[in-house]
Structure formats: structure tokens, C-alpha cells
């Protein structure tokens, strides 16, 4: 018996499979909504992520989340010439 997502449950970027709870959870995190909201949107709009995003009022493709290295790099400021 397998616990957790299998290789077959890796979310596809071209359609949303409501039969796989792990995939629904991944899509809900991506859209920033609940699993139920994703399921309702898929039932209304179909399995294409762009259509589901439109129904949910979310951008597609989703914006890239900043990586920690980007945040740290931006938070380090260059020394001013007046600091010396």
C-alpha cells in the first residue's frame, strides 16, 4: 500500500484532475483558494487551468513567487559613499 502522492499524481499543467486529492490540493495552493473552490470552478469551467483561473478571478499563468535568495539579495543594500 502506498501512502502519499505517486508518480501518477504529479499535477499536469494542462488539466486539473479532480479524482486525485493531492493534485486538487496542489491546484488550490497555486490558486490561493480552498479545495472546494477548485472543485466547483472545474465543474463550472472544465479542467483547463486557464478557464478555472478565470472563474476564480485569478491570473493565469500565476505569478512566480519570490525565492528566498531573491528576497535576501534585495534586502542587502550597497554601502553608501557617505558611510565611510
Question: What is the residue extent of each domain of the chain?
Answer: 11-77
What is the chain's mean pLDDT, rounded? Answer: 80
Q: What is the pLDDT of residue 79?
A: 61
pLDDT for 44 beyond 80: yes
Given its phi and psi angles, is residue 4 left (phi above 0), alpha (psi -120 to 50 degrees) or beta? left
**Cell 519570490 appears where?**
66
Rounded Cα–Cα distance for residues 23 and 37 (Å)? 14
Dump pLDDT digits (tens) for 20-29: 999 999 999 9
Mean pLDDT for the stretch of residues 38-45: 96
| Prediction pTM value | 0.62
Residue 17: Cβ-neighbour burial (10 angstroms; 0-12, 13-18, 19+): middle
Q: What is the pLDDT of residue 19?
A: 94
pLDDT confidence tier of residue 60, bands split at 50, 70 and 90: confident
pLDDT for 84 beyond 60: no
Mean pLDDT for the stretch of residues 1-17: 62
Amino acid at each position: 500500500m502506498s501512502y502519499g502522492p505517486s508518480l501518477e499524481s504529479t499535477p499536469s499543467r494542462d488539466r486539473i484532475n479532480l479524482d486525485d486529492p493531492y493534485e486538487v490540493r496542489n491546484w488550490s495552493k497555486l490558486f490561493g483558494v480552498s479545495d472546494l473552490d477548485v472543485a466547483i470552478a472545474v465543474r463550472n469551467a472544465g479542467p483547463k487551468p486557464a478557464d478555472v483561473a478565470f472563474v476564480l478571478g485569478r491570473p493565469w499563468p500565476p505569478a512566480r513567487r519570490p525565492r528566498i535568495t531573491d528576497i535576501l539579495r534585495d534586502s542587502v543594500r550597497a554601502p553608501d559613499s557617505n558611510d565611510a
